[in-house]
Amino acid sequence: MNGLVLYRHHFRHLPTIRTERLVLRPMRMSDARAMYEYSRDEEVARYVLWEPHKSLLDTYEVIWDMKRQYRRGWPSSFAIALNDTDQMIGTIGFMWINAENRSAEVGYSLSRSYWNQGYMTEALKAVLEYAFGTLNLHRIEAQHDIRNPASGQVMKNAGMVQEGVLRDRIYNKGRYCTVAVYSIINQQEP
C-alpha cells in the first residue's frame, strides 16, 4: 500500500484524540452553531485564509466541505471540542501532505474566548503526536502572518522552530502578507 493510499485511509476514518482538556474529532453538522459563533468574529478571521462567516449557511457549507474531504480521504481538519461539554471551539488539521517526503503543513483557528489559555498548544501537540506516531510523517510545518505573533508562540510552545520569514508570500484579504515558517522534525524515527 503506497503512502498516499495509507493517508487517505486515515483521513476517511479520522480518529478521536483526547487530551487533558480537549477532544479532537471529526466535525459534525451539529457543530454548526458553535462554529458560527466564533467564525463570524472578525478578530478570529483576521489572519486566517477564510473570511468571517456572514450567516449560519456559510458555516454549514464549511462543514459539508470538510465532510466531503473526509469521504475522499483528503487532508482535513479536526474539530477542537471541550472535553467536558463536547462544544466545538476551533479547528486544527492538515493543509496538505506530501507522501514522498513524508511531510505536511498544519493550520488552526480558535474561538477568541479561549485564546491565551494554552488550548491551541495542547491541540497542536496532540496533532503533532498523531502525525509522527500514527501517520509516520518526518516533517511538519506551519506558518503564520507576522502580524499575529501569538500564533508563532503556539508553534514554539509545541516544540516547533522558526525557519525563516517569507516576504509577501500570501495574498489575503486584499493585501500581501509576510509569514514566518516553523517546522518540527520527528526525533523518534529509527
Q: What is the CATH number of the domain that holds 95?
A: 3.40.630.30
- Residue 1: what pLDDT? 39
- Residue 111: what pLDDT? 98
In a domain, 177, yes or no: no
Strands lying side by side in the sheet with 139-145: 17-18, 22-25, 77-82, 88-98, 103-110, 139-145, 175-185, 161-172
In a domain, 55, yes or no: yes
Nearest to 78 by CA among 36, 15, 128: 15
Cell numbers describing residue 86: 463536547
Report d(CA 59, CA 37) in Å as an integer: 9
Residue 90 in contact with residue 38, Cβ under 8 Å?
yes
Report d(CA 140, CA 87) in Å as an integer: 27
Residue 94 in contact with residue 110, Cβ under 8 Å?
no
pTM over 0.85: yes
In a domain, 148, yes or no: no
In a domain, 65, yes or no: yes
In a domain, 180, yes or no: no
In a domain, 156, yes or no: no
- Mean pLDDT, each 10-residue run in order, the chain (190 residues): 71 95 98 98 94 97 96 96 97 95 97 97 98 96 97 98 97 96 88
- Residue 4: what pLDDT? 63
Report d(CA 144, CA 150) in Å as an integer: 9
Report d(CA 32, CA 75) in Å as an integer: 21
Report d(CA 92, CA 62) in Å as an integer: 14
Number of domains in the chain: 1
The CA-based dihedral angle spanning residues 186, 22, 28, 44, taken in that order and rounded to the nearest 10 degrees: -90
In a domain, 8, yes or no: yes
Domain residues for the domain of 46 are 3-138
For residue 186, how many C-alpha atoms fall within 13 Å in the half-sphere facing its CB?
21
Torsional class of 150: left (φ above 0), alpha (ψ -120 to 50), beta (otherwise)? alpha
